[in-house]
Structure 1
Amino acid sequence: MRISGFASGMDIDAMVKELMQAHRKPLDKLTQQKQTIEWQREKYREINSKLVDFRNNKLFNLNMNSTLGALKSTVSGNTAAVSAKAVSGSMAGSLEIRVGSLATAARISGGSMDADVTAETVIGDKAGKLIVNDVEIEISSEDTIQSVVNKINSNKDAKVTAFFDSQTGRMSLVSKETGAINDDGKIKLSDDNNKLVDFFKLNAGSSDSVAGTDASVTINGIETTRSSNTFMVNGVEITLHAPTPDGAQSSIVTTSMDTDKVVDTIKSFIDDYNSLLKLLNDTVEEKKYRDFQPLTSDQKKELKEDDIKRWEEKAKSGLLRNDTILKKMITDLRLDIMSPVTIGKDAEGNDIKMILDDIGITTGRWEDKGKLVLKDEAKLREMLEKNPEDVIALFTSKGTPDAEGNTPKNTQGIFQKMYDDVKVTLDSLFDKAGTSRFSNTLDDPLNEESIIGKELKNLDKRISDTNRKLLNLENRYYRQFTAMEVAINKFNAQSGFLMNAFGG
């Protein structure tokens, strides 16, 4: 704490503050420069997040053939006997199916137990090991019939489902798998004490044991069997529901491209691409207000909160205007969209090329700055139905290596080209701003060894040095004014002494 001005009557603190204002201008400029660069880095981080999301969560998934090659299976003819579902890896084509019989599960239906037996009846002295399909299940004397049922059902290796009906006092076991199980197709059941099986009336004398059977089915004229009523054929999941009646139509399963789903996927890509392109265009064209620099702490004290907010909106505007990294990204994306893709060769060995306009997609008007437009959806659907492989190659082709093992970019599909080009941009942003190349979150730590990171560390050092110099200068001013106060005090003392001496 400084106490000054008693002798002179002057406001020394105010005078020192005014003297220091001019000297603080370089510090204010450094602080404003640092704030501007920090804002710029945050803008880079926001753009980087969108690019990572576009590359890793959209392009990566789109570049999978299964995404654009989505198939659907339909059943015609006898639709009651069979249902079908195309899954990943399905093959286009048709299957003629006739169902001879369905697969059934093996079962054992026990006889009626004693009249006083309930689900809560305790096993007691009949405790031992129940052996189901060679799996031993320990039954204790404290177990009840219901807890035995629960033990059987919770044992995955036994592969049966147990059920006790309290109304009839009967227990049953049903195989969890259809088809002929074990050697004779039946559930294996025994015990180690000759008591448990008899107690549950599951012994041969009082139970009904039925073997499981395989389904009998004819596929494209070939008679075959399946242990389950649901199975795969050419990547299509077939489910049998009922035998095909004699003289009835066969079930015809047709697997083809799911045009509606593919069109929706392409529309989704167009929306994502346009959104990213607009963000990049708006960023590099955003107006810069050079007269609006970051506010100093003293300036903020003189303004209202709303005024500060409006000022900083202008100060943050145009921070990445004409940014070379982002402008290159825009150019690369537009070239990826516009450049033809070599999707194969004709009979004479000439390249077969395709562009988006061939499937009804254009880049719109000049003022739209590369925005994609699905101008002719009917044309897109027609191409998907007539030449699905070509359309898929236009988007997802990984490219064809040349004699040197390199993959020319013109042989790569749109998604692959974009995937590679966005990575180049992410690498550039990492080098400059220290942003993550893999995460799209906004709170990941930034690499301080990036160009901006090093620039900020240098500014921190300069700000620290400047603060130290200003503090030394401020202390010097106070020392000078203190010396003045001491001199005035001394003069006043001498003057008082002389006046008293002459007056005496």
Structure 2
Amino acid sequence: MSNMRITGIASGMDTETMVNDLMKAERVRLDKIEQEKQLSLWRQEQYNDINKSISQFILDTRKDLFGTSSYSKSPSSLTWVNKATSSDESIFTASSTASAPTGTHTMKVTQIAKGVSVASASAVSATNDSKLSDLGIADGSISFDIDGTNTATIQYKATDTVKDLIDKINSAMGDELVPDLNTPKVPLGIQASFDDANGRLFLSTKGTGLKAQIKVTDDAGKLFTGGTDKFKLGLTEDVAVNGQNAKIDFDGAIGLEYESNNISINGINITLNSTSATDQTIKIDTDVDGIYDKIKGFVDKYNELIGNLNKEISEKRYRDFNPLTKEEKEAMNDDDIKLWEDKAKSGLLRNDQYINKLIQNVRSGLYESVITDDKGTSDTSDDIELSPYSQLFEIGITTGEWKDKGKLVIDETKFKDAIKADASGVMDLLFTPSDEDNSSKSGLVNRMYDHMIDGMKEIINKSGTGDNSELYRSVKSNILIDFVTGGNGRKGAISLIDEEVLAFDTRITREQDRLSSVEARYWSQFSAMEKALSEMQSQSSWLTQQMG
């Protein structure tokens, strides 16, 4: 059949306009499907934005509270609960974890940890760009003992420059004497440099302490060892030059040794700067104001998140504002399109079951007691309330008025009084690690995180991950396992909304095929009409001529 379209030549009608008008009526059903698809895509985008904001809240607050965004630490490791004061910061500085006993501690620094540094005894007639051959060095190798088990061997050529040799030393890795494929190679741990201005080679260990050493075990080319070594370091083959440990006396414990000047003892982190002739002191106090500020900051971020979630589920829905069709957009300017679409997107998650459930679970978790099996008393044999604090209100944190919809309020005086009475109890209530088998044993903050992550998982099943997979894995490494494996009527790695969109695409394709058929039928009918009219006009003209 010919696809030629015969316009209204015979009838005088604007056939094309008539067909287009008829097709506009036919397109209503397709427009509705495309609008429903667009609503699903917008809803998916909003779900993903919510999960992104929850993820960011968890990561940001974990980093602020625990010093790392990857995981939550135990209450005893928190570094902002206690404050440490050094009697002389030129000798040492100190910070404290929550486990450090409060009070005044005595300490004397008798020796600082040091590494090893050696240098050319006199100037070497070379620069970094000099060839090793200029120093009378032929092809060869030099070996260093790293730790008694690993040896690093460096191959060099006469055509190498001094800088090439330096780079090889700095990047050298050890090979175990008895290779173990499961053990990573150990770095040499020596930093080398050559100073052109003074003609001196410098070697130094990256670490400190007795185990830090420079020990050349094989130097046939006499680069660094022997009385006539090329770089005048004066080292002796197979003789180690070692660093020294730090030594301190602490609260009556004499001669404690450490390989580094950054040490930890009894929950106190100390950086040694110099030795002391007399005893010094470290004063550990509970940082009441610091704790309040830290928790207040957390509560403020929580309230901001809850406020945004409540806004999403209470936002007004404007049902008269549907997604614009292509023709409607063409008739509007960009500003008007944005205003319209803002209305069309509003309220898509109003009273949403997933967000409502997440909020309710978080709030319920905050109201419930924290229990343990080794403190306090209770009528139950297994679960015993944490003493003296087991609920949030006991430390001065409560929910606000009804209009605040779950936001938290801190009574500063009551909270600080609780800290003064038992800082450890407050920290246990808030930060006891999660218990996967019994959430009632989880601290309230970690319980909150767990409920949020559970809610995120349900939203991921509904809307997918968008571009946020790595962000979600930063929150919890296995958070996407259920999504990838599928279940609950959902195929693996495809969200419920993605399934909806695929179904809409199928319906759209079918509807487009139907519209093509309908349009072809209209044109066929009009073409037939035009042809018939044309034939009638021809016959009429012939008769008129015959009757002439």
Q: Give the TM bin, normalised by the shorter chain.
A: 0.7 to 0.9
Which of 73, 92, 96 aligns to 1:82? It is: 92
Q: What is the aligned partner in structure 1 of residue 539 from structure 2?
A: 494
Q: What is the aligned partner in structure 1 of residue 399 from structure 2?
A: 363
The worse-fitting range, judged by mean Cα deviation, of 57-66 and 43-52 is 57-66
Change in 2 beyond 3 A, CA 1:472/1:340: same
Is structure 2 residue 445 aligned with structure 1 residue 415?
yes
Which of 1, 10, 15 aligns to 2:13? It is: 10
Q: Which amino acid aligns with 2:15?
A: I
Q: Are the counterparts in 1 of residues 75 and 431 from structure 2 also a CA contact under 8 Å?
A: no
Is structure 2 residue 265 aligned with structure 1 residue 233?
yes
Report how far residue 260 of structure 1 moved.
5.2
Q: What is the aligned partner in structure 2 of residue 386 from structure 1?
A: 421
Q: Are the counterparts in 2 of residues 179 and 226 from structure 1 also a CA contact under 8 Å?
A: no
Report how far residue 187 of structure 1 moved.
7.5
Q: What is the aligned partner in structure 2 of residue 433 from structure 1?
A: 463
Q: What is the aligned partner in structure 2 of residue 375 from structure 1?
A: 411
Change in 2 beyond 3 A, CA 1:100/1:36: closer
Q: Which amino acid aligns with 1:469?
A: R
Q: Which amino acid aligns with 1:483?
A: A
- Alignment length, in residue pairs? 482
Q: What is the aligned partner in structure 2 of residue 224 from structure 1?
A: 255
* TM-score normalized with structure 1 length: 0.77
Output the CA distance in 2 between the equivalents of 1:194 and 1:26: 89
Output the CA distance in 1 between the equivalents of 2:272 and 2:251: 15
Q: What is the aligned partner in structure 2 of residue 34 from structure 1?
A: 37
Q: Are the counterparts in 1 of residues 137 and 221 from structure 2 also a CA contact under 8 Å?
A: no
Q: Are the counterparts in 2 of residues 106 and 181 from structure 1 also a CA contact under 8 Å?
A: no
Q: Which amino acid aligns with 2:257?
A: R
Question: 1:253-283 CA distances to partner (integer Å, 9 max, x unpaired)?
Answer: 2445555554443233223322221121111
Which of 272, 291, 313 aligns to 1:284? It is: 313
Q: Are the counterparts in 2 of residues 107 and 211 from structure 1 also a CA contact under 8 Å?
A: no
Counterpart mapping for 1:244-255 below 5 A? 244-245=276-277, 248=278, 250-255=279-284
Q: Are the counterparts in 2 of residues 341 and 413 from structure 1 also a CA contact under 8 Å?
A: yes
The worse-fitting range, judged by mean Cα deviation, of 477-486 and 145-154 is 145-154
Q: CA RMSD in A?
A: 4.5
Q: Are the counterparts in 1 of residues 75 and 432 from structure 2 also a CA contact under 8 Å?
A: no
The worse-fitting range, judged by mean Cα deviation, of 452-461 and 211-220 is 211-220
Q: Which amino acid aligns with 2:135?
A: I
Q: Are the counterparts in 2 of residues 68 and 392 from structure 1 also a CA contact under 8 Å?
A: no
Output the CA distance in 1 between the equivalents of 2:391 and 2:86: 36
Counterpart mapping for 1:296-335 below 5 A? 296-335=325-364
Q: Are the counterparts in 2 of residues 80 and 242 from structure 1 also a CA contact under 8 Å?
A: yes
Output the CA distance in 1 between the equivalents of 2:204 and 2:496: 70
Q: What is the aligned partner in structure 2 of residue 65 from structure 1?
A: 74
Report how far residue 163 of structure 1 moved.
8.0
Output the CA distance in 1 between the equivalents of 2:331 and 2:222: 96
Q: Which amino acid aligns with 1:223?
A: I
Report how far residue 104 of structure 1 moved.
5.9
Report how far residue 221 of structure 1 moved.
2.0
Report how far residue 372 of structure 1 moved.
1.9
Report how far residue 37 of structure 1 moved.
2.3
* TM-score normalized with structure 2 length: 0.71
SS at match of 1:295: coil
Q: Which amino acid aligns with 1:234?
A: N
SS at match of 2:282: strand
Gaps of 5+ in 1: none
Question: 1:112-165 CA distances to partner (integer Å, 9 max, x unpaired)?
Answer: 68xxx6455953389988787798878877789999888877777485878889
Q: What is the aligned partner in structure 1 of residue 322 from structure 2?
A: 293
SS at match of 2:516: helix
Change in 2 beyond 3 A, CA 1:458/1:465: same
Report how far residue 287 of structure 1 moved.
0.8
Q: What is the aligned partner in structure 2 of residue 485 from structure 1?
A: 530
SS at match of 2:27: helix
Change in 2 beyond 3 A, CA 1:35/1:467: same
Counterpart mapping for 1:76-225 below 5 A? 76-77=86-87, 80-86=90-96, 91-92=100-101, 95-102=105-112, 118-119=125-126, 122-124=134-136, 157=188, 192=220, 197-199=226-228, 215-224=246-255
Output the CA distance in 2 between the equivalents of 1:281 and 1:319: 13
Whichever of the two has the greater Rg, that structure is 1
Report how far residue 215 of structure 1 moved.
4.9
Q: Which amino acid aligns with 2:496?
A: I
Q: Percent of aligned positions with the same letter in both sequences? A: 31
Is structure 2 residue 504 aligned with structure 1 residue 468?
no
Change in 2 beyond 3 A, CA 1:410/1:106: closer
SS at match of 2:226: helix
Q: Are the counterparts in 1 of residues 189 and 206 from structure 2 also a CA contact under 8 Å?
A: no
Counterpart mapping for 1:259-270 below 5 A? 259=288, 262-270=291-299
Output the CA distance in 2 between the equivalents of 1:492 and 1:452: 59
Output the CA distance in 2 between the equivalents of 1:484 and 1:152: 93
Change in 2 beyond 3 A, CA 1:142/1:261: farther
Output the CA distance in 2 between the equivalents of 1:145 and 1:487: 99
Question: 1:170-221 CA distances to partner (integer Å, 9 max, x unpaired)?
Answer: 9887776666679xx99789965889633367669xxxx9986655532222
Change in 2 beyond 3 A, CA 1:55/1:172: closer
Q: Are the counterparts in 2 of residues 92 and 254 from structure 1 also a CA contact under 8 Å?
A: no
Counterpart mapping for 1:43-58 below 5 A? 43-55=46-58, 58=61
Report how far residue 107 of structure 1 moved.
7.1
Report how far residue 496 of structure 1 moved.
1.5
Output the CA distance in 2 between the equivalents of 1:340 and 1:132: 60
Report how far residue 333 of structure 1 moved.
2.1
Output the CA distance in 1 between the equivalents of 2:85 and 2:246: 19
Output the CA distance in 1 between the equivalents of 2:509 and 2:353: 32
Change in 2 beyond 3 A, CA 1:145/1:17: closer
Report how far residue 328 of structure 1 moved.
1.7
Output the CA distance in 2 between the equivalents of 1:53 and 1:194: 58
Output the CA distance in 1 between the equivalents of 2:427 and 2:112: 39
